[in-house]
Amino acid sequence: MPSSIYLSAAHKSSGKTVVSLGLCAAFKARTLKVQTFKKGPDYIDPIWLAQASGNPCYNLDFYTMSENEISELFHQQQSDIAIIEGNKGLYDGMSTTGGDANADMAKLLDANVVLVIDSNGITRGVAPLLMGYQTFDADVNIVGVILNKVAGERHESKLVQAIEHYTDIRVLGAIRRSKELIIDERHLGLMPANELTQSQQFINSAGKIIADQVDLDKILSLGGEKKSVNTPVSVIASSNLTISVAKDQAFGFYYQDDLDIFKSLGVRIKYFDTLKASELPKCDGLFIGGGFPEMQLESLSDNQSLLDDIKLKIEQGMPTYAECGGLMYLSREITHQGKSHKMVGVIQANTVMTSKPIGRGYVQLEPCNEHPWENVAGKIYAHEFHYSKLKNINPKTRYAYKVLRGVGVDNKRDGILTHNLLATYTHLRSVGGNRWVEQFVNFVRKNKL
């Protein structure tokens, strides 16, 4: 049977992602099919995990998804081993009493937990830490530990002796401190792999280190059984629609299952590079997701022909949806570190980057009467991550959403509307009652040029 392990930790920044990447690369090198998942609303780690495993990474999120949706998405993906990377610590979540933590996700998926422990400054104390994590919730099956950032053989020996004397948890590996296992970070987490030319080199190096310092065979033998399910054959509707999607070093924040839904509806996706393309591909609609456009401002601004073409097409009525970085790109300009760069200019507002987060976390929206799509959910559960805000907004600007929780554009509203464009700071996910992909596709079909 296929196996699954849930990689978690005692706290964030323990090295879960680097260990996950190394395991993916090491198992892939053995010609195993590796399927990755990430708990929570995260774009950056999944980009890395997809590159390391060679397969798309899927997000599992209690806030936006039902338990049935989580289980179905998880079990539909076939593989030799599934690796679920948690966020924060094993028992960390929004609720004080649990229900949405990594531990709850592991129980829902019947996945055995492997803890990645940051070993800096700890020896015998690792034992009561692990004992506490075991007894806190007896239904969570913690089967192994990977010691990370180990100083040397003597340090490793003390840790292993303490764990073996006081607990029944298996030590699956001890990873030495190494500069080779450090990825640069930015305000939303790790530097995205799509921005780093050396990302594959880092993954390959991590894979070799993990293969040498972690017992891969032992991990394969203890992984919880992953149910093999017969995935129903999806009937692809023939829509004869083409939607252009920005995907490059500036824009790369897309949920794989959302992209899968576009394809299941018969929509042809054409990716384009905002840094290099002189014009949009021939298409019926446009989708610009999130990312870090502020890191590519000069190149984006210098590509005047594409800026002009996007502005013209949207003003002519091309159905368009943009999220966060996409919204910023469509504004008049983006100001970062005191320098302003001209952008598309179809949104009558200026974007200003900030040193602290403006909106960061889960969001709840209520659609306004002016929302242009049909069959929109009465309440939408989503999320936002932005270190920017809009200034000099046209006072006549129309909005698609009332913000019940979160920040959006101005703490009250989100979803700027102009022509056939809907641009939000909120990141939507096509799950539950919020089937935004189908709604947007129907809108494109009705309004294509």
Residues annotated catalytic, as ranges: 324
Q: Longest C-alpha distance within the chain, in Å?
A: 72
The answer to whether 37 touches 57, Cβ cutoff 8 Å, is yes
> What phi and psi values does residue 390 have, to the nearest 5 degrees?
-100, 140
**Residue 325: CB atoms within 10 Å:** 28
Nearest to 290 by CA among 75, 52, 20, 43: 43
Nearest to 3 by CA among 112, 108, 86, 90: 112
